[in-house]
Structure formats: C-alpha cells, structure tokens
Amino acid sequence: MNQIEPAFEADLLAGFTGLSFMPKIYTLSHNNVAPVLRLYEEFIEYRGGFRLKKSDYANIKKIDVFTILSTKSVCLYFENTPRTFYGNFRKNSERVDCLKVFIEKGCQLTEQALALVQ
C-alpha cells in the first residue's frame, strides 16, 4: 500500500472551526480529542470539528495567527467558504515551522503571522 507521508504534521492541542466574519476568539466547533493539521506536497488535511477535510494550497485565502494566554494558533481562511480552521499548537516553535511551510507553498500570510517567522 502506497502511503503518502506529510511534509509537516502538527502536534495540536485542539482544532477549531469558525467563520471568517467572526472574531477569532469565537468558534462554531472544536476538537481536542483528535485535531489534525497535516501539510502534504500538494494539499493539506485538517480537522477542527468532526470531519477530516482536505484543501489545496491555492484554496487558502490567507493565514493569520492568534495568540492569547496559552493559545498559539494558526488561522486558515479559505477562498470559497466563510468557514475557517484554527489549529492550537503545543509549542510556538512548531507553529513557526508550520508557517514557514505555508510560505514555501506560496500562501499569503498576514503581517502578524509574518512577524513570527522573521
């Protein structure tokens, strides 16, 4: 069986699903049992609620960050949906590594996200 290995797999505390027009502190659903953020060569997999979803890098509109108290999240906004994904990382260094992969894939990062990488 040919299993594709991810280029990056996040060790998340939790995953969240929100809406792009809501403040990042509010979410629709969360998953702290089996959150997922895997970055493959051509696509990503993520789980912020109940279902595992896939997206191409071209479908990612922008990537932001959310940092408050012990929360160290990467926030993904998508092109054709108001739904968002937030992945809360255990370690900030891993969050920075994740952002670097998104930069390599040509994704647009907000100024706040770019400041973490530099």
Q: What are 37-67's pLDDT values in tens digits?
A: 999 999 999 999 889 999 999 999 999 999 9
Segment among 21-30, 32-41, 99-108 with least mean pLDDT: 21-30
- Identify the bridge partners of residue 65 per DSSP, sorted by sequence position: 74
Helices and strands (DSSP H and E) totals, the chain: 2, 9
Q: Are 64 and 55 in contact (CB under 8 A)?
A: no
Where on the phi/psi map is residue 47: left (φ > 0), alpha (ψ -120 to 50), or beta?
beta
**Selection from 75, 83, 81 nearest residue 110 by Cα:** 75
Q: What is the pLDDT of residue 4?
A: 86
Instruction: Give the model's confidence band at 113: pLDDT under 50 very low, under 70 low, under 90 confident, else very high.
Output: very high
Reduced to 3 states, what is the DSSP secondary structure of residue 88? strand
Instruction: Give the model's confidence band at 2: pLDDT under 50 very low, under 70 low, under 90 confident, else very high.
Output: low
Q: pLDDT averaged over the chain?
A: 94
